[in-house]
Amino acid sequence: MLQTAIKAAREAGKLMLNTFGKELKIDSEVRYDTKLALDKECEKVIIDIIKSNFPEHSILAEESGQTKNKSDYTWIIDPLDGTANFAKGIPQFCTSIALVKGGEHILGVVFDPLKDELFHAEKGKGAYLNNKRIYTSNVKSLEDSFMICGFMKSEETIKQGLGFFKDLVLKVKKVRIMGAAALDLCWVAAGRFELYFEYGIMSWDIAAGTVILQESGGKISTREITENTFNVVATNGKILPEEIPVT
């Protein structure tokens, strides 16, 4: 299953590399988001690879929605996380693939094709970056923390998130907004940041990163606000997300 996820992520990454910086076909645009035809192309590649190996498994994918089978296994797919970055030529995007069994996240793969960084984790087996074991940082205070965060896709969650941001921004050392939630979680897992939050984030944005973060020693707190949509706070595990409650 891990090798299937890695193969699918890398194949989607090839499509991204072949397209990045070239003229793009915009599939749709809304007030706070952009969709490219490439999102669907990458998703098809990923799903085809998964189905060729595990045709009985269910799938929840950002573009095509949910396909339910009788299997205990469900793949959760974000084919191109950071689409707005990609469309603007900003080099921060990835593909994210997770596997859930009976409601438990058991596998996650996040691939950044531009940096050739592949994060992966299986439950109980640790987290890895390009096959090297990774751990969260040892920072124990907000005052010494680097925070990475995202701003959301609806007016309501933007307003909520801004309030949360205002409370935290003066307590941490530095803040960065990079635009790809799956990578944000992986960067906390790898010790590059200590804290991540976002309001109104979708399950496919965080499913793989959640496994990778937890296997690296991090902690995550989520609150489902609508189906497949969450408010999220994640930390390096030394700073407890319970101390930064999701509202």
Considering just the CA atoms, what is the radius of gyration of the chain in Å?
Answer: 17
- 127 plus 11 within the same structural domain: yes
Task: Say whether pLDDT at 175 is over 90.
Answer: yes
Q: Is residue 246 part of a domain?
A: no
- 20 plus 113 within the same structural domain: yes
- 25 plus 117 within the same structural domain: yes
Condensed to tens digits (0 to 9), the pLDDT of residues 155-166 reads 877 888 888 888
- CATH code of the domain in which 48 resides: 3.30.540.10
- 128 plus 186 within the same structural domain: no
- 84 plus 159 within the same structural domain: no
Q: How many domains does the chain have?
A: 2
- 184 plus 225 within the same structural domain: yes
Integer Cα distance of 240 and 218 in angstroms: 9
pLDDT computed for residue 224 by the predictor: 87
- Which among 134, 159, 193 is the end of a domain? 134
Token representation of residue 136: 């969260």
The most confident of the ranges 60-74, 157-171, 194-208 is: 194-208
Helix axes 181-189, 203-215, angle to 10 degrees: 10
- Which among 113, 134, 155 is the end of a domain? 134
Structural domain including 70 reads 2-134
Q: Is residue 243 part of a domain?
A: no
pLDDT computed for residue 64 by the predictor: 80
- 9 plus 117 within the same structural domain: yes
Secondary structure (3-state) at 145: coil
Residues 206 and 120: beta-carbon distance below 8 Å: no
Least Cα distance to 142 among 242, 4, 212, 239 occurs for 239
pLDDT band at residue 233 under the 50/70/90 scheme: very high
- Which among 81, 100, 134 is the end of a domain? 134
pLDDT band at residue 199 under the 50/70/90 scheme: confident
Mean pLDDT of 27-41: 71
Whole-structure pTM value: 0.92
Task: Say whether pLDDT at 229 is over 90.
Answer: no
Tell me the CA distances in angstroms from 40 to 45, 64, 107, 188, 233, one per residue in order.
9, 8, 23, 28, 29
Q: Is residue 85 part of a domain?
A: yes
pLDDT computed for residue 65 by the predictor: 77
The most confident of the ranges 59-68, 150-159, 199-208 is: 199-208
pLDDT computed for residue 226 by the predictor: 82
Q: What is the residue whose two structure tokens read 């992520």? A: 9
Percent of the chain residues topping a pLDDT of 90: 69
Tell me the CA distances in angstroms from 180 to 132, 145, 150, one per residue in order.
22, 20, 8
